[in-house]
Amino acid sequence: MTTKQVFACVVFFAFLPGVFAQSSWSYLPQAPGGQFGNEGRIDDVFFINYNEGWCATSSGNIYHTTDAGATWTKQLAAGNAFYFRAIEFRNSQLGFAGTLNSRFYRTTDGGVTWTNIANQITPLPKAICGISIPHDSVVYAVGQWDEPAFYIKSTNGGQTFTSHSMATQAKGLVDVLFINRDTGWVSGKGIGGATILHTTDGGQTWTELFNSGNNGEYVWKLQRVTPEVWVGSIQTMTSPNGRMVKSTDGGITWSSLPAPITDMQGIGFATAQKGWIGDYSAGFFETNDGGNTWTQVFFGSTYNRFHFIDSTHAFASGNSIYKFSPDSASSTINLPGGSDQHLDKFDFTISPNPTTGQIRVAFELPQMDNIRISVLSPQGIELKNVYKQRLPEGKYDIQMDTGDLPSGNYLLWIQRNAGLYTKPLLISK
């Protein structure tokens, strides 16, 4: 029985620490985001073995490699309007890819052809953010990172799906991991904080195992490192302190550990002790003591997925694809032109600021995006959602009302598909 490889280093966790002197991370210059240029962000990468894998990009493309990432071939060009968030394969033939734009793709020939099967799902979800295939016939997927929260399930290999609301348990879901047909975990933004939910009956009932208690946070990614040790990343702009979550009893009991970055999305551990975290802009950090201490490693940016094949071979996706392997040991390099080569340059302005209530928020989108704008307290508590919309590429100057809030200092918070952004806001009446 196979499980999602990105979440598992199960067989090889007993390797000695000395092995890691033989493996390191390297940038793959021929990967999407390298020679292919303007791919935006590569949100997900999945390999069925060390040589064959796929990646999906925010620019609506799916790529395939058969030589461990040395070269890549484009298999699907859905169009710049379709942002791919998740991709996963059960074997060399059956795979699924989810977008943030109401499309869900299935392939039965290794990606040679892809079919949009979203019309098989009722109600149709707005976005697919995570996929797990624990059995030849059973497929789960979750979404979206913003409201509403749901999961979909197939029991016939993805030929048909049922859709299930999770609105009473969560505001938004990002990741999913099932270890068999019925036992699984989902993570995202819960009621009142970042959440991890657990089911043992195929999704009929759910139990919340973790809640951060800080409204607006996410548990963004989950990983099963060993049968006992599990980890997750917490993405927050509502707390000044970065954290990760960790379980040492098979994903049942979770606790948070301090981490050096707040906008954390990607997390990946090779063993219970050695792992990495990354975010959109602050960098890439390494631990050798299970997450108790971290050291910064400078390369790449916009990390979203770490995918481990075993304890010495892995891939990570961000502004490009990165490889962890013994044959990378002598070639670890920074991205050409600096680690922010493909870093998103999104910015926004608030006017007037200070304001008596009405404000205008101006920004430019390079492609279709989901936009949510909220007002936060200085402590990061979400007080009011003032705007929520899916917008096409273009420039925007949006008027919104904050007049029911008293005078004081606040934060204006913009959530996008790619990341979180805040600026100070002063209301003076």
**Model confidence over 158-217: pLDDT tens digits?**
999 999 999 999 999 999 999 999 999 999 999 989 999 999 999 999 999 999 998 879
What's the pLDDT score for residue 389? 85
Q: Indicate if 311 and 252 belong to the same structural domain.
A: yes
Question: Does the pLDDT at position 105 exceed 70?
Answer: yes
Which of 55, 142, 136 has the alpha carbon at shortest distance from 90? 136
Q: Calculate Rg over the CA atoms of the chain.
A: 20
d(CA 19, CA 16): 6
Q: Indicate if 311 and 419 belong to the same structural domain.
A: no
Q: Indicate if 268 and 408 belong to the same structural domain.
A: no
Give the other-Cβ count within 10 Å of 296's Cβ. 11
- The predicted model gives 3-19 an average pLDDT of 35
The tally of CA atoms less than 13 A away on the side-chain side of residue 124 is 12
What's the pLDDT score for residue 79? 87
What's the pLDDT score for residue 37? 53
> Domain of 178?
5-328
Which of 244, 240, 242 has the alpha carbon at shortest distance from 255? 244
Q: Is residue 204 assigned to a domain?
A: yes
d(CA 382, CA 374): 7
Please check whether residue 414 is in contact with residue 371, taking contact to mean a CB–CB distance below 8 angstroms.
yes
Q: Indicate if 51 and 113 belong to the same structural domain.
A: yes
Beta pairing, strands 394-401 & 358-365: antiparallel
Q: Is residue 333 assigned to a domain?
A: no
Burial 171-206 (b: 16+ CB within 10 A, else e): bbbbbbbbbeeeebbbbbbbeebbbbbbbeebbeeb
Q: Indicate if 137 and 70 belong to the same structural domain.
A: yes
Beta pairing, strands 295-297 & 284-287: antiparallel
User: Domain total for the chain?
Assistant: 2
Distances (CA, A) of 70 to 35, 58, 304: 11, 21, 21
Which of 118, 158, 104 has the alpha carbon at shortest distance from 134? 158
What's the pLDDT score for residue 300? 62
Q: Indicate if 178 and 277 belong to the same structural domain.
A: yes
Per residue in 231-285, pLDDT (tens digit) is: 999 998 767 789 999 999 999 999 999 999 888 899 999 999 999 998 876 678 9
What's the pLDDT score for residue 349? 95
Kindly state the tokens that stand for 59.
Answer: 């620019």
Query: 305 vs 80, which has greater pLDDT?
Result: 305
Kindly state the tokens that stand for 151.
Answer: 């999961």
Please check whether residue 264 is in contact with residue 279, taking contact to mean a CB–CB distance below 8 angstroms.
yes
What's the pLDDT score for residue 314? 95
Q: What is the dihedral of CA 4, 61, 267, 284, to 10 degrees?
A: 150
Which of the four pLDDT bands, split at 50, 70 and 90, describes residue 24?
A: confident
Beta pairing, strands 230-235 & 284-287: unpaired
Question: Does the pLDDT at position 6 exceed 50?
Answer: no
Q: Indicate if 159 and 205 belong to the same structural domain.
A: yes
DSSP-derived secondary structure letter, 8: B
- Domain end, chosen from 328, 360, 377, is at 328
Please tell me the pTM assigned to this model: 0.81
Which of the four pLDDT bands, split at 50, 70 and 90, describes residue 20?
A: very low
Kindly state the tokens that stand for 184.
Answer: 């699984």
- The predicted model gives 383-394 an average pLDDT of 86
